[in-house]
Amino acid sequence: MMKKSLAVMLSGVLVLSAGFMTGCGSSSSAAPEASAESEAPAAPEASAAPEASAAPEASAPAETSAATGEVPAAAQESYAKLLAAEESLMTTDNHPMMAEGLSFDIPAVDGDSAYCEENYEENEAAHWHYKEYIDWDTANDATFPESPADGQIGKKVICIVHGAHAWTTCYTDAFKAACDAVGMEVEVFDPNWDQSTQDGYIDQAINERPDAIALIPLSADHATQQFKKITDAGIPAFCSNTTPEADAMNYIIAYTGPNDWYQMRKLADMLGEKLGGKGGVAYITHNVGGSPYYARCYGPLTELAEKYPDIQTLDIQSPGFEAADVKQVVSDWITKYGDQLNAIVLADDSDQAIGASEACKAAGRTDIVIVAAGISQQGLDLVKSGDLFGLSYQTCQGDAGLCVRTISEWFCGIDINRVNYLSTDVCTADNVADFEPCQW
Amino acid sequence: MSEVKKNENTTAPKVDTRKMEINKFSLLFNKMGIWIIVIALMILGMIVSKGQFFTSSNIQSILEAVALTGMVCSGLFYVTYSGNMTDMSVPITMAFGGVMAIQCINFGFIGAILAGVLTGVVIGLINGFMIGKMRANAIIWTLALNLLLSGVIRVVWQGKMLYAEKIADEAHQNSANLFYSISRTYIGGIISLMAIVMLVMFVISWLILTQTGFGQKLKIIGTNYEVARFSGIDCTKQIITAYVINGVCSSIAGIFYAALRKCASYENGTGYDFDALTAILLGGVALTGGKGSMVGTFGGVLAYGLLNNCLSWIGLGTYTKYLVQGIVFLFIVWMNTYSNRKLGKA
């Protein structure tokens, strides 16, 4: 009996000591990192959405304006609250959390997805057209629920994320903060990276009959079924963060999230210039099959192939996100390719970047130029120390903010764009201070 | 056969027919075990790398790649050896070790390391007590503890990353930097501290296994728990000790992992339980316990790294690598089983 008590006590010691070390009691309440800088200003008159902020440079398709249209009288109070939230809510790194989304023109291609993949090489942008652009056939759009056009105040949204991660914690905190600021109620479901659990949560969410459902799909391929189910139930569905397959857009009111392809192309342009248009590049990818896998590998690869034909692709590997595994792959590359290896493109700026930079340092190859996607603390530190040449700014809190903004605009009866991208900044040593302190 | 004829009245031959099928390869594989594979992989490496395999950078790369797995193996070996198969709470022990080390960075560098290791000791004690004394199912208990502690970390630290430099006050920023540096230090500019720590941990584990009564007792417990108990061995004490050693080794790996990642979170260490168990089984340790050696386990760890390295030299894609790794590992485990059976050891 005494020994049983001892076991229970030991477990308790662990929990209590952890709580004591962190001052759990005082800080365990949900405290979103994003902060309201000031009191909400007086509601401006209802008008069309503000103009787009940052204009993307480089090889970009033309940027178009985002949401437009008159706000109905019933939604004016809500819209004023939304504009006030847009003014006041800032991300941890002091960027507007609910900034207007960007959209891009889609270039024409001469065939469907199968045609493009069959007739174009992997190093040609057209090969990946239907993965890069959410280029769906609007003729197949489902019958979407109509906007009540009475504003978002008092509405309930269920947000289904993909899984537990520090990024997700940051995202959900920001989502809650943004909903709170615009007067919406929110419930968050976390399936912990399990597809069937996410499907179950979708059923549960539908049964709760919320006013809208925002979903970060775990799988681009499976997203069509998930969004179809939500839309068929008469609930407006919004897709956040992860790009679904194009057909899924037939069942989605709007997509909001980063333009991974565009940002990685920007990084590739910087890289090509840095390399002087020649050299060897190797790629460490994201998890194979997901939208970041294609965007963060074939985005820069096709860009370099088009603009810098003398830059050669040496290898593409997918060792995952363990720093030690990435370090081994890069060390092996350095030994194998020697001076031929001039640059590395990474799908992740935290563990992958640490592994790659440590391998380069250990081999005395600090001349290798490394670029990565993301905006983690580790990534920023590596940019500051010069180990990373550049990384794409993918604002986590802004991602949540844009989703809430788009949902709110829809509730206000404004014509929203079906695809809304986040700003497309790139972080380098010159502007790293603009992205601190890190969001997660 | 003549012996069988002499015993016509018996219902079964007295000769172990399996021993009659002994061939030289079975004997060699049973004696050398995984080291045959290690040597074969080295030869393969020399061929595919065109002579660059034994360069210091390549050796360093291989050792570094397996350092964390090796650290875990040096402790997990005892759990498997004691007949408790594996410890599913290895990932959370690594994570909690790293989290507590970073959380305690304001107690100085040594204080942080001690806090991390102490966490491993406490988790080992809990596991050891529940499995050794209460006879809880080793897999289910450690899996449940893994979930429980994962929840504890998520609740207490709200699922966020912990950065040493953010937790450290002004006076302890150097401790934070020193903490991060442990996974980036190269002794003599050649071999990493992580690899050296792994080698030292293997040597200590080998000494404990071969030079102490604990090792002998654990072998008997692993072979037959009831026999060990009736022989007067304090099974509870030995199993608790095995889990405490395992906890310490996992937490040390977790500390190095957190230092390498420059942050700690509940997800640190994910997958290391299976990686380490694979390396241990490759080294010829029986999952049922009582059989295996620390030298073999080290060979298993090396084979793990060497195979990866060779496949990189060959230039295989990631998924083809997984395929080849799976085939090679299956072959090694089959060879272990086959040679044991041929020698009448299984």
Q: Tens of pLDDT along A93-144?
A: 999 999 999 988 889 999 888 999 999 999 999 999 988 888 888 999 999 9
Set of chain A residues whose Cβ sits within 8 Å of the Cβ of B55: 335
B133 DSSP assignment: I
Mean pLDDT of A254-277: 96
CATH code assigned at B126: 1.10.3470
Q: Which residue has the tokens 């007295």?
A: B14
Q: Classify residue B299: in a domain, yes or no.
A: yes
Q: What is the pLDDT of residue A75?
A: 94
Q: Which of A142, A68, A84 is nearest to A412 (CA)?
A: A68
Q: How many CB atoms lie within 10 A of CB B211?
A: 10
Is A22 close to B156, i.e. CB distance below 8 A? Answer: yes
Set of chain B residues whose Cβ sits within 8 Å of the Cβ of A288: 318-319
Is B52 close to A354, i.e. CB distance below 8 A? Answer: no
Domain A260-392 in CATH 3.40.50.2300: yes
Is B160 close to A19, i.e. CB distance below 8 A? Answer: no
CA distance A344 to A337: 12
Q: What percent of chain A has pLDDT over 90?
A: 68
pLDDT > 60? residue A60: no
Class of residue B333 by CB neighbours under 10 A (exposed 0-12, middle 13-18, buried 19+): middle
Q: What is the pLDDT of residue B158?
A: 84
The number of angstroms, rounded, from the C-alpha of A21 to the middle of its chain's C-alpha atoms is 33
Residues A98 and A67 sit within 8 Å (Cβ to Cβ): no
Q: Classify residue B131: in a domain, yes or no.
A: yes
Which residue from A170, A335, A440 is facing B61, i.e. has the nearest CB? A335
How does residue A282 score in pLDDT terms, banded at 50, 70 and 90? very high
Q: What is the pLDDT of residue B8?
A: 53
Q: Classify residue B14: in a domain, yes or no.
A: no
Q: What is the pLDDT of residue B192?
A: 92
pLDDT > 80? residue B315: yes
CATH topology for A63-104+133-258+396-424? Answer: Rossmann fold (3.40.50)
Rounded to two decimals, the pTM is: 0.81
Q: What is the pLDDT of residue B206?
A: 97
Q: What is the pLDDT of residue A96?
A: 95
- How far away is chain B from the Cα of A319, in angstroms, using its nearest Cα? 7
- Scanning every residue of chain A, which has its alpha carbon at the shortest distance from the alpha carbon of B305? A328
- How far away is chain B from the Cα of A363, in angstroms, using its nearest Cα? 7
Residues A286 and A348 sit within 8 Å (Cβ to Cβ): yes
Burial A257-271 (b: 16+ CB within 10 A, else e): bbbbbbbbbbbbbbb
Query: What phi, psi does A331 have (nearest 5°)?
Result: -60, -40
CA distance A170 to A188: 13
Domain boundaries, chain A: 63-104+133-258+396-424, 260-392
Q: Residues 129 to 158 of A: which have CB under 8 A from any B CB?
A: none
How does residue B40 score in pLDDT terms, banded at 50, 70 and 90? very high
Set of chain A residues whose Cβ sits within 8 Å of the Cβ of B126: 7, 10-11, 14
| A30 compared with A368, residue with greater pLDDT | A368
CA distance B9 to A220: 72
When divided into structural domains, chain B yields a total of 1
Is A325 close to B319, i.e. CB distance below 8 A? Answer: no
Is B305 close to A363, i.e. CB distance below 8 A? Answer: no
Q: What is the pLDDT of residue B10?
A: 55
- Scanning every residue of chain A, which has its alpha carbon at the shortest distance from the alpha carbon of B130? A7
Residues A355 and A320 sit within 8 Å (Cβ to Cβ): no
Is B55 close to A378, i.e. CB distance below 8 A? Answer: no
Q: Give the domain range for residue B243.
A: 21-342
Q: What percent of chain B has pLDDT over 90?
A: 69
Show contacts of B25-33: CB within 8 Å, 24+ apart: B25/B339, B26/B338, B26/B339, B26/B342, B26/B343, B27/B339, B27/B343, B29/B335, B29/B336, B29/B339, B30/B339, B30/B340, B30/B342, B30/B343, B30/B345, B33/B283, B33/B284, B33/B296, B33/B299, B33/B336
Residues A391 and A372 sit within 8 Å (Cβ to Cβ): yes
pLDDT > 90? residue B159: no
Q: What is the pLDDT of residue B321?
A: 85
Q: What is the pLDDT of residue A216?
A: 96
Q: What is the pLDDT of residue A104?
A: 87
pLDDT > 70? residue A53: no
B162 DSSP assignment: B
CB-facing half-sphere around the CA of B98: CA atoms within 13 A: 32
Mean pLDDT of B297-324: 89
CA distance B67 to B185: 13
This complex has an ipTM of 0.80
Q: Which residue has the tokens 């939304």?
A: A82
- Scanning every residue of chain A, which has its alpha carbon at the shortest distance from the alpha carbon of B312? A332
Residues B95 and B267 sit within 8 Å (Cβ to Cβ): yes
Asked if omega into A437 is within 30° of 0 (cis), the reply is: yes
Mean pLDDT of B284-299: 92
Q: What is the pLDDT of residue B116?
A: 98
Is B186 close to A327, i.e. CB distance below 8 A? Answer: no
Instruction: Work out whether strand A419-421 and strand A390-392 pair parallel, antiparallel, or are unpaired.
Output: unpaired
| B61 compared with B245, residue with greater pLDDT | B245
C-alpha dist (Å) from residue A52 to A65, A103, A411 = 6, 9, 20
Q: Residues 264 to 303 of A: which have CB under 8 A from any B CB?
A: 288
Q: What is the pLDDT of residue A45?
A: 37
Q: What is the pLDDT of residue B21?
A: 56
| B229 compared with A165, residue with greater pLDDT | B229
pLDDT in tens, B44-81: 999 998 888 898 888 988 999 999 999 999 999 999 99
Set of chain B residues whose Cβ sits within 8 Å of the Cβ of A359: 61
Q: What is the pLDDT of residue A9?
A: 52
Q: Where is A81: in which H helix or E strand?
A: helix A76-88
- Scanning every residue of chain B, which has its alpha carbon at the shortest distance from the alpha carbon of A192? B267
Residues B116 and B251 sit within 8 Å (Cβ to Cβ): yes
- How far away is chain A from the Cα of B34, in angstroms, using its nearest Cα? 22
Q: Which residue has the tokens 């991300």?
A: A91
For A281, the 3-state DSSP assignment is: strand
The residues, any chain, with a CB within 8 Å of residue B204's CB and separated by 6 or more, are B74
Residues B163 and B262 sit within 8 Å (Cβ to Cβ): yes
CB-facing half-sphere around the CA of A261: CA atoms within 13 A: 25
CA distance B89 to A106: 49
Set of chain A residues whose Cβ sits within 8 Å of the Cβ of B118: none
How does residue B320 score in pLDDT terms, banded at 50, 70 and 90? confident
Q: What is the pLDDT of residue A304?
A: 98
What is the gyration radius of the CA atoms in chain A, in angstroms?
23
The residues, any chain, with a CB within 8 Å of residue A8's CB and separated by 6 or more, are none
Residues B329 and B312 sit within 8 Å (Cβ to Cβ): no
Q: Classify residue B305: in a domain, yes or no.
A: yes
- Among A331, A333, A375, A384, pick the best mutation site for testing chain B contact (most B Cβ within 10 A): A331
pLDDT in tens, B255-274: 999 999 999 999 899 999 99
- Among B47, B55, B147, B158, pick the best mutation site for testing chain A contact (most A Cβ within 10 A): B158
Set of chain B residues whose Cβ sits within 8 Å of the Cβ of A354: 260-262
Residues A317 and A355 sit within 8 Å (Cβ to Cβ): no
Is B308 close to A328, i.e. CB distance below 8 A? Answer: yes
Q: What is the pLDDT of residue A41?
A: 37
CA distance B174 to A222: 48
Burial B147-163 (b: 16+ CB within 10 A, else e): eebbebbbebbbbbbbb
Q: What percent of chain A has pLDDT over 70?
A: 84
Q: Report CA torsion sign: B216, B218, B219, B220.
A: positive
- Among A8, A10, A14, pick the best mutation site for testing chain B contact (most B Cβ within 10 A): A14
| A289 compared with B49, residue with greater pLDDT | B49
Biggest CA pair distance of chain A: 77
How does residue A68 score in pLDDT terms, banded at 50, 70 and 90? low
Set of chain B residues whose Cβ sits within 8 Å of the Cβ of A318: 317-319
CA distance A10 to A12: 5
Lowest mean pLDDT among A160-174, B236-250, B305-319: B305-319
pLDDT > 90? residue B32: no
Average pLDDT, chain A: 86
Does A16 contact B at CB distance below 8 Å? no
Is A10 close to B125, i.e. CB distance below 8 A? Answer: yes
- Scanning every residue of chain A, which has its alpha carbon at the shortest distance from the alpha carbon of B317? A317
Q: What is the pLDDT of residue A52?
A: 34
